[in-house]
């Protein structure tokens, strides 16, 4: 193989070199960007759950009491019993469990959405400790409340005030900006889990439709092994019943509704089509190129180049050309990924996961988690795409070179 | 094979389907001899040259170079045979358009393991002999017809061939350039002692050769 000859061929035959490189690079860029987009949507779909420190959320829908007074459960989250919790905890793949109690409390003068949280558990709503804007977060063993900053503003609540929820008084120790945190399980007031459990257990309205024990909860947040999430979702339904609402990255992906997010099969098919078209373009251009060079190949053979010499030269040309195309495809994809990373994606949060009574202000509004699409090209994909383009070059050059090297010099050099 | 004979073809025939273009030709060329193959267009001259140079296989008969039978050689063996023993000069030069003059001359040496400097030295030496030292880095498109043919001659000589095959070497040149090329070939023959088999249909050119072989309808007639 003569490198100088190779470079001259690519340099002086600019038009065909550029056509082949651009054709293949677009295919490679498409492959990279389709897969990067798919990964970005998958990553985006994980954000609402990640923000609450979990991989899975668990709820069980049920009935609402006929009369809405005192503490009640929203219809999307009724009792998950202590016995059920004990079955869930040891499931394979469960790395952490966060518990919470979400209540609607209808007092004579005010309605509250109350969330009882485990203050020290990193899995679940205690992640709110990073969103405290004033005062402090809830401390272990204390009976106190954290108020959502917008709610506090609306009802003129300040740190040091006391609030009375279902006849129990709580001092306000901090304000929290829930809009900066997860959109799941958003409440007006955050209490220690034990206090919320007491409110629930002592509510006759609530007990009438959904019996609740002192250690029961109605929201679960599970940190899980990524590869076990699908299996766990199914195991949880076995324990809690088919009607249980299991929130996973996949369920959020489905909510996104994007074509890229919808199906791995679509992504695979689109990638295969992109590569097929790229290979076709590369093959067609190189086949045309080699056919044009039949006489040149004849000269090479006449002056003593063996078939192997000819194939090696053409294969090297093709590999170098396709390698350049691969790098260009990577650059195009990187530019496209950068541009796409400015795109915003709205992930709808189902009402079930952040239930607000419809008759309260904003109660019927769809909540979205808005974020920039995290499009980036992983090095594994970049390496794969580059190697693929080299492989395409090798196969194309090898096949075409082998074919053309069989020509007889006398046939192509004959009469001039 | 007679003493001094470097190339011989015995009872050579070549058929394309039912058409026999070379018919039972027996021919020999001595070392250092300048032989001209003449005849009308389509009489089989170029085919005979292809058979003798190993570019094509005969349908029947035998070709020997330096007592080596090349008739049964494989494609790659034939390529190596051509690389080591023969040089070609074509009517339309057949230079590689993307290679410079010196690279075209060095083309037969590319597959051979040798240093780039040695390759360059050999090509440069030959180009200078062809009075093209100043055109070494030019692409064929920038050369005149005569210059192209001189580059082609240098390429044919770069592997120190025993026999030079020239197929209508002046066919694409004007008469004065053609004369200059013939002068170079004659000089090569007389000074270097290279055996030359030249195909032409121009009788005047053929007169420069030591021996004339006439072909008609695929047969050697004189």
- The ipTM of this complex is 0.90
Mean pLDDT of A86-105: 92
A20, A9 in Cβ contact below 8 A? no
Residues of B in Cβ contact (< 8 Å) with A304: 79-80, 82-84, 108, 111, 159
CA pair distance A189, A110, nearest whole angstrom? 12
B46 touching A, CB under 8 A? Answer: yes
Mean pLDDT of B146-161: 90
Highest-scoring range by mean pLDDT, A121-130, B133-142, B195-204: B133-142
Angle at B174 between CA B187 and CA B127, to 5 degrees: 45
Residue A332, pLDDT > 70, answer: yes
Mean pLDDT of A111-123: 89
Structure token digits, residue A142: 């204390």
CA nearest A14 in B: which residue? B98
A302 touching B, CB under 8 A? Answer: yes
pLDDT score, position B3: 45
Given A12, A308, A408, which is nearest B56 (Cβ)?
A408
Determine if residue B216 is left, alpha or beta; phi over 0 gives left, psi from -120 to 50 gives alpha, anything else beta: beta
Distance from CA of A409 to the nearest CA of B (A): 6
Percent of chain A with pLDDT over 90: 38
Eight-class DSSP state of A366: P
Our CA dihedral for B169, B173, B178, B184, rounded to 10 degrees, sits at: -60
Average pLDDT, chain A: 86
- String of b and e for A371-384 (b: at least 16 CB within 10 Å)? eebbbbbeeebbee
Nearest to A113 by CA among A362, A369, A368, A366: A362
Alpha helices, DSSP H only, in A341-378? none
Eight-class DSSP state of A168: E
Confidence of residue A253 (pLDDT cuts 50, 70, 90): confident
Residue among B16, B45, B94 with most chain A CBs within 10 A, to mutate = B94
Residues 6+ apart with CB under 8 A from B44: B14, B21, B22, B23, B215, B217, B218, B219
A62, A79 in Cβ contact below 8 A? yes
Distance from CA of B192 to the nearest CA of A (A): 20
**Which position has the higher pLDDT, A324 or A186?**
A324
Our CA dihedral for B176, B181, B182, B188, rounded to 10 degrees, sits at: 150
Nearest to A77 by CA among A46, A123, A113: A113
Mean pLDDT of A5-10: 86
A356, A51 in Cβ contact below 8 A? no
Q: Which residues pair with B68 in a beta bridge?
A: B65
CA pair distance A296, A409, nearest whole angstrom? 9
CA pair distance B86, A292, nearest whole angstrom? 26
Classify residue A51 by burial, with Cβ atoms within 10 Å: 0-12, 13-18, 19+: middle
Q: Are the Cβ atoms of A413 and B90 closer than 8 angstroms?
A: yes
pLDDT score, position A416: 45
pLDDT score, position A260: 57
- String of b and e for B87-126 (b: at least 16 CB within 10 Å)? bbbbbbbbbbebbbbbbbbbbbbbbeeeeeeebbebbbeb
pLDDT tens, residue by residue, A133-177: 999 999 988 899 999 998 899 889 999 999 988 888 999 999 998
CA pair distance A409, A403, nearest whole angstrom? 14
Residue A358, pLDDT > 70, answer: no
Q: Are the Cβ atoms of B97 and A12 closer than 8 angstroms?
A: yes
Percent of chain B with pLDDT over 70: 98
Distance from CA of A50 to the nearest CA of B (A): 59
Q: Which residues pair with B27 in a beta bridge?
A: B9
Residues of B in Cβ contact (< 8 Å) with A4: 103
The 3-state DSSP class for residue B61 equals strand
Distance from CA of B221 to the nearest CA of A (A): 23
pLDDT score, position A263: 63
Angle, helices A264-292/A294-302, rounded to nearest 10 degrees: 60
Q: Are the Cβ atoms of B91 and A4 closer than 8 angstroms?
A: no
pTM score: 0.76
pLDDT tens, residue by residue, B57-114: 899 999 998 888 888 888 888 888 888 889 999 888 889 999 999 999 999 998 888 8
Measuring CA to CA, how many Å separate A271 from each of A93, A328, A336, A377?
A: 32, 17, 16, 15
Mean pLDDT of B166-190: 83
The 3-state DSSP class for residue B202 equals coil
Structure token digits, residue A41: 């949507």
Residue A182 CB coordination number (10 Å): 26
pLDDT score, position A270: 82
Residues of B in Cβ contact (< 8 Å) with A299: 94, 96, 107
Given A4, A306, A413, which is nearest B79 (Cβ)?
A306
pLDDT score, position A363: 62
Q: Tell me the Cα Rg of chain B.
A: 17
Q: Are the Cβ atoms of A408 and B55 closer than 8 angstroms?
A: yes
Residue B2, pLDDT > 50, answer: no
B161 touching A, CB under 8 A? Answer: no
């Amino acid at each position: 193989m003569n490198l100088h000859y190779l470079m001259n061929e690519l340099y002086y035959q600019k038009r065909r070199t550029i056509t082949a490189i651009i054709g293949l690079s677009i295919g490679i860029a498409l492959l990279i960007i389709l897969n990067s987009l798919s990964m970005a949507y998958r990553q985006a779909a994980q954000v609402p759950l990640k923000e609450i420190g979990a991989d899975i959320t668990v709820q069980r829908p049920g009935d609402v009491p006929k009369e809405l007074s005192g503490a009640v459960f929203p219809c999307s989250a009724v009792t998950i019993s202590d016995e059920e919790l004990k079955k869930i905890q040891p499931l394979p793949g469960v790395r952490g469990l966060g518990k919470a109690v979400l209540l609607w409390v209808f007092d004579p003068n005010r309605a509250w959405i109350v969330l009882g949280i485990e203050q020290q558990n990193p899995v679940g709503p205690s992640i709110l400790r990073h969103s405290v804007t004033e005062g402090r977060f809830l401390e272990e063993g204390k009976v106190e409340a954290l108020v959502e900053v917008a709610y506090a503003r609306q009802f003129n609540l300040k740190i040091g005030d006391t609030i009375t929820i279902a006849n129990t008084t709580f001092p306000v120790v901090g304000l929290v900006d829930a809009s900066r945190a997860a959109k799941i399980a958003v409440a007006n007031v955050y209490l220690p889990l034990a206090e919320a459990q007491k409110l629930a257990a002592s509510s006759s309205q609530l007990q009438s439709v959904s019996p609740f024990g002192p250690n029961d909860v109605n929201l679960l947040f599970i940190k899980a092994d990524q590869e076990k999430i699908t299996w766990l979702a199914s195991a949880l339904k076995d324990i809690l019943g088919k009607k249980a609402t299991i929130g996973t990255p996949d369920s959020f992906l489905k909510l996104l509704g994007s074509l890229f997010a919808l199906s791995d099969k679509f992504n695979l098919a689109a990638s295969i089509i992109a590569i097929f078209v790229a290979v076709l373009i590369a093959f067609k251009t190189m086949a045309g190129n080699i056919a044009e060079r039949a006489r040149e190949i004849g000269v090479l053979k006449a002056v003593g180049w063996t078939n192997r010499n000819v194939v090696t030269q053409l294969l090297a040309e093709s590999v170098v050309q396709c390698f350049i195309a691969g790098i260009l495809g990577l650059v195009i994809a990187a530019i496209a990924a950068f541009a796409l990373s400015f795109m915003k994606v709205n992930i709808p949060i189902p009402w079930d996961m952040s239930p607000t009574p419809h008759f309260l202000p904003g109660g019927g509004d769809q909540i979205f988690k808005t974020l920039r699409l995290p499009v980036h090209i992983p090095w594994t994909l970049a390496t794969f795409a580059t190697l693929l383009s080299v492989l395409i070059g090798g196969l194309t050059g090898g096949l075409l070179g082998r074919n053309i090297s069989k020509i007889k010099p006398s046939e192509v050099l004959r009469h001039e | 094979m007679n003493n001094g004979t470097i190339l011989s073809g015995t009872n050579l025939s070549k058929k394309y389907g039912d058409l026999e273009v070379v018919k039972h030709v027996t021919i020999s060329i001595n070392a250092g001899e300048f032989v001209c193959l003449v005849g009308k267009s389509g009489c089989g001259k170029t085919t005979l040259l292809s058979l003798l140079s190993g570019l094509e296989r005969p349908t029947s008969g035998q070709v020997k170079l330096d007592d080596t039978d090349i008739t049964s050689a494989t494609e790659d063996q034939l390529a190596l045979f051509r690389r080591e023993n023969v040089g070609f000069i074509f009517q339309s030069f057949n230079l590689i358009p993307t290679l410079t003059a010196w690279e075209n001359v060095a083309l037969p040496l590319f597959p051979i393991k040798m240093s780039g400097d040695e390759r360059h030295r050999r090509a440069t030496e030959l180009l200078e002999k062809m009075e093209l030292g100043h055109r070494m880095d030019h692409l064929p498109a920038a050369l005149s017809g005569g210059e192209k043919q001189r580059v082609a001659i240098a390429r044919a000589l770069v592997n120190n061939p025993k026999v030079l095959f020239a197929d209508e070497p002046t066919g694409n040149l004007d008469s004065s350039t053609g004369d200059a090329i013939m002068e170079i070939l004659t000089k090569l023959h007389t000074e270097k002692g290279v055996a030359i088999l030249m195909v032409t249909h121009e009788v005047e050119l053929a007169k420069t050769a030591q021996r004339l072989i006439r072909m008609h309808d695929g047969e050697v007639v004189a």
